[in-house]
Amino acid sequence: MGEKVTRKYFGTDGIRGRVGEGNITPDFALKLGWAAGRVLGEGRGGKVLIGKDTRISGYMFESALEAGLVAAGMDIRLLGPMPTPAIAYLTRTLRGVAGIVISASHNPYQDNGLKFFSANGDKLPDEVESAIEREFDQPLQTVGPAQLGKVRRMEDARGRYIEFCKSTISATMSLRGLKLVVDCANGATYHVAPDVFEELGAQVVAMGDEPDGLNINRRVGSTSPGALMETVVRKDADLGMAFDGDGDRVLMADRDGNLIDGDQLLYIIAKSRLEQRCLEGEVVGTLMSNLGLEHALRELGVGFVRTQVGDRYIMERLKRDGGILGGEPSGHIICRDRTSTGDGIVVALQVLTAMKNADRELGDLAGEMRKYPQRLINIQMDEQRDIIGLPEVQDAVGSAERELGESGRVLLRPSGTEPLIRVMVEGVDEAQVTSVANRLADVVRARIAG
């Protein structure tokens, strides 16, 4: 592991915030487009793809990025509203030098963000982001009139991506006879996901498919799965799936309306890959992955490792160790043998494949993984302080771990974005888990107050 690179603008998942505040402004996007064009084009120009989700501010940032990139001599392909993984895929297949996503993923419409993909459809390396930041701080100089970039709207982006999604499963697999509820979160999958599943033969009940620029993720999608769960039961569907605003996450619901989270989906895909003898390496989760996932995989003889929270760290570990599957409880799952980034539609298709191969329903497959009771308590602080390292807190953690034994887990971690300490306890017995979590939280609160 090399030294951690400190960046001024880029976070672990691009640049994100409230529209009109901080760096989420059109003048910042224009300068960032220019700086990125200078670094990525290396003075020779090249093609950059720009896609966005459905939030109203996307128009503004698309225009600003376009102006900056053209000023740096870069050609542009405008994709319009498209899922984040579609932009990664199209960047790779169209031999672009980079792809840019304008999205704040599962956040409300008031937020937006900018995320870059490399020519390979991966996230930009730290050193490239650092180079863009250094260039950003230089005066903006436009290339000569004859070297200015050209802009073209890519009319067939949607169709290309739909065909790619279908190509990730067997050409002979049909979804005929299945009734599916597809919740698009009023986001980027609204004109893609329903067609993918309909073209494969399913009867689709679409919801969250009428974006107006302001309703992305509002009471629908993977951040509000209650709407999906209720609709599956009301429509007597076989199952449902809910994407987030930019389409890189998915949660599902079985025919009884029970929510199937990312840990359970990851288990289903891993077991299916194992049975098909195409599972490579260990499965990668995060510090927040349910202990039940780890134990269920262990019973299958499958290794499981944890990383920091964030798909960036999951991908790094998969690449390092040659693994193909990783994910988070939120439904951000990477099937590296199918695509280069988290992709909600592709993940849903892998789960449906597992169901077809096993000839079993979603609820039955998910039920093979026992989710351990989990209690998460967020404790506010006035400012970021190292509370976790204090001897009294460490003693309390040790006591909690001894009480839970090998059938439980304790995790204390600071929030990366807020002055919060997150106390998480898992175990076999729900009453014990709640009691241990409350006692541990009381110790943390006392140290913050004292």
Q: What is the mean pLDDT of residues 402-415?
A: 89
Tokens of 98: 């980079």
With bands split at pLDDT 50, 70 and 90, how would you rate the model's confidence at 384? low
Task: Give the per-residue pLDDT at 297.
Answer: 97
With bands split at pLDDT 50, 70 and 90, how would you rate the model's confidence at 5? low
Domains of the chain, by residue range, sit at 15-154, 161-367, 374-449
Q: What is the mean pLDDT of residues 166-185?
A: 97
User: Which of these is catalytic: 57, 63, 103, 105?
Assistant: 105
Alpha carbon 348 to chain centroid distance? 14
CATH number belonging to the domain at 161-367, selected among 3.40.50.300, 3.40.120.10, 3.40.50.1820, 3.60.21.10: 3.40.120.10
Taking the CA atoms of 169, 170, 171 and 173 in sequence, report the sign of the dihedral they define. Answer: negative
**Residue 57: pLDDT over 70:** yes
With bands split at pLDDT 50, 70 and 90, how would you rate the model's confidence at 1? very low
Task: State the DSSP code for 11.
Answer: B
Q: Give the residues across from 391 on adjacent strands.
A: none
Q: What is the mean pLDDT of residues 340-357?
A: 97
Per residue in 126-161, pLDDT tens? 899 999 999 999 999 999 999 999 999 999 999 999
Task: Give the per-residue pLDDT at 180.
Answer: 98
d(C-alpha 406, C-alpha 223), whole Å: 32
Per residue in 222-275, pLDDT tens? 999 999 999 999 999 999 999 999 999 999 999 999 999 999 999 999 999 999
63 is catalytic: no
What is the separation, in whole angstroms, between the first and last Cα of the chain?
A: 37
Return the residue matching tokens 């090249």. Answer: 46
Q: Are 66 and 151 in contact (CB under 8 A)?
A: yes
**Residue 90: pLDDT over 80:** yes
Tokens of 90: 């199209």
d(C-alpha 331, C-alpha 371), whole Å: 15
Per residue in 193-226, pLDDT tens? 999 999 999 999 999 999 999 999 999 999 999 9
Q: Judging by beta carbons within 10 Å of its beta carbon (0-12, 13-18, 19+), is residue 395 exposed, middle or buried?
A: exposed
**374-449 shares the fold of 161-367:** no
The CATH H-level (homologous superfamily) assignment of domain 15-154 is Alpha-D-Glucose-1,6-Bisphosphate, subunit A, domain 3 (3.40.120.10)
d(C-alpha 164, C-alpha 273), whole Å: 20
* Percent of the chain topping pLDDT 90: 87
**Residue 52: pLDDT over 70:** yes
CATH 3.30.360.10 fits 374-449, yes or no: no
Q: List CB contacts of 391: < 8 A, sequence separation 6 or more.
A: none
